[in-house]
């Protein structure tokens, strides 16, 4: 395995916007962090700073997004910011947030990537210890499944399939090999999408009241409403963006070939947790 140093960012940068679900403004500051500290969120509640590491142990069950909590302090919808960090190979970063929910922005990780690129990369000297998958590991839920197989090269490659049946989203597939350049070019700008009926259900539940069809991609019966797609297969690209972020819950870069069909945050997180516990067991055997 070729040596790679752990990496952080050279200087602090910030991104601000409103949370999709809460509508609350949130400022996200990415700060340099020392080796072996991983990606950690920092929220100060009633004057008390709480650190929330990106790991399977911090994850809390939530619908259609990835939330983390420590000691009752939560950060919501972390997956796009974490995906940007992982996509650019930033292993150690302190992410200070001013509110519970991260900003939705345009539904992609593009603004996070732009900020992190502006900050630049700093090598930390200590080698990264990737989690190398040695044997197949699979989790399923009805028709949905995701599996990690031994890597095809030193790193992460992904084959992803979504199938929404008849309709404008339909079946889409993407094969992606993770690298910072590939992430910037092919994944970072792919936006969150929902169907009109999902959007109506959320509204009825009092959620996402300020979100409009220009803030993410809403699919009607004939295609996206008032918002052109960035790629014909933007949906599956966004699913890969989410998966890259969710796999960070394993706590270390995963070297594997991951295949997924109709997977989502919950299954992605289950796979990350399974890989994390398998690697611990092997390390202690």
Residues designated as active site: 265
Cβ at position 180, least distance to Zn ion in Å: 19
Q: Is 78 or 115 the residue whose CB approaches Zn ion more closely?
A: 78
Choose the binding region for Zn ion from 86-94, 129-137, 236-244, 246-254 (rule: CB under 5 A): 236-244
Q: Is 133 or 211 the residue whose CB approaches Zn ion more closely?
A: 211
Cβ at position 5, least distance to Zn ion in Å: 29
Applying CB under 5 A, among 30, 242, 253, 254 the residue interacting with Zn ion is 242
> Residue 164: what are its φ and ψ, rounded to 5°?
-95, 10
Choose the binding region for Zn ion from 127-135, 169-177, 237-245, 252-260 (rule: CB under 5 A): 237-245
Cβ at position 263, least distance to Zn ion in Å: 12
Non-local CB neighbours of 225 within 8 Å, separated by 6+ positions:
196, 213, 218, 219
Choose the binding region for Zn ion from 49-57, 89-97, 126-134, 241-249 (rule: CB under 5 A): 241-249
Angle 175-214-167 from CA coordinates, rounded to 5°: 55
Q: Is 233 or 242 the residue whose CB approaches Zn ion more closely?
A: 242
Q: Is 116 or 124 the residue whose CB approaches Zn ion more closely?
A: 116
67 binds Zn ion (CB under 5 A): no
Give the separation between CA 83 and CA 90, rounded to whole angstroms: 10
Choose the binding region for Zn ion from 45-53, 110-118, 189-197, 203-211 (rule: CB under 5 A): 189-197
Q: Is 172 or 192 the residue whose CB approaches Zn ion more closely?
A: 192
Cβ at position 248, least distance to Zn ion in Å: 13
Cβ at position 259, least distance to Zn ion in Å: 19
Contact between 23 and 209 under an 8 Å Cβ cutoff? The reply is: yes
Site for Zn ion in 190-209 (CB under 5 A): 192
In this chain, which residue has its C-beta nearest to Zn ion?
242
Choose the binding region for Zn ion from 95-103, 194-202, 242-250, 266-274 (rule: CB under 5 A): 242-250
Q: Is 100 or 242 the residue whose CB approaches Zn ion more closely?
A: 242
268 binds Zn ion (CB under 5 A): no
Cβ at position 252, least distance to Zn ion in Å: 22
> How far, CA to CA in Å, does 5 sit from each of 125, 130, 133?
5, 11, 20
101 binds Zn ion (CB under 5 A): no
Sites of contact with Zn ion (CB under 5 A): 192, 242
């Amino acid at each position: 395995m070729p040596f790679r140093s752990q990496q952080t960012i050279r200087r602090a940068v910030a991104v601000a916007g409103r949370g999709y679900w809460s509508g609350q403004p949130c400022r996200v500051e990415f700060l340099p962090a020392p080796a072996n500290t991983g990606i950690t969120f920092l929220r100060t509640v009633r004057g008390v700073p709480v650190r929330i590491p990106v790991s399977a142990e911090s994850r809390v069950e939530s619908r259609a997004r990835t939330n983390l909590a420590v000691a009752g302090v939560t950060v919501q919808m972390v997956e796009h910011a974490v995906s940007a960090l992982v996509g650019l190979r930033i292993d150690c970063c302190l992410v200070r947030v001013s509110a519970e929910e991260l900003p939705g922005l345009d539904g992609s990780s593009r603004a996070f990537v732009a900020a992190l690129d502006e900050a630049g990369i700093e090598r930390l000297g200590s080698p990264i210890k990737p989690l190398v998958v040695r044997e197949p590991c699979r989790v399923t839920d009805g028709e949905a499944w995701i599996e990690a197989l031994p890597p095809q090269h030193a790193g992460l490659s992904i084959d992803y399939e979504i199938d929404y049946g008849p309709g404008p989203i339909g079946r889409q597939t993407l094969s992606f090999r993770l690298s910072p350049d590939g992430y910037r070019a092919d994944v970072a700008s792919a936006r969150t999408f929902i169907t009109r009926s999902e959007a109506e259900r959320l509204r009825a539940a009092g959620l996402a009241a300020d979100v409009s069809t220009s803030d993410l991609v809403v699919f009607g019966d004939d295609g996206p409403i008032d918002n052109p797609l960035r790629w014909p297969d933007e949906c599956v690209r966004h699913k890969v963006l989410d998966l890259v972020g969710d796999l960070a819950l394993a706590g270390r870069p995963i070297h594997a070939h991951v295949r997924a069909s109709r997977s989502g945050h919950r299954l992605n997180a289950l796979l990350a947790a399974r890989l994390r516990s398998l690697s611990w067991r092997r390390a202690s055997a």
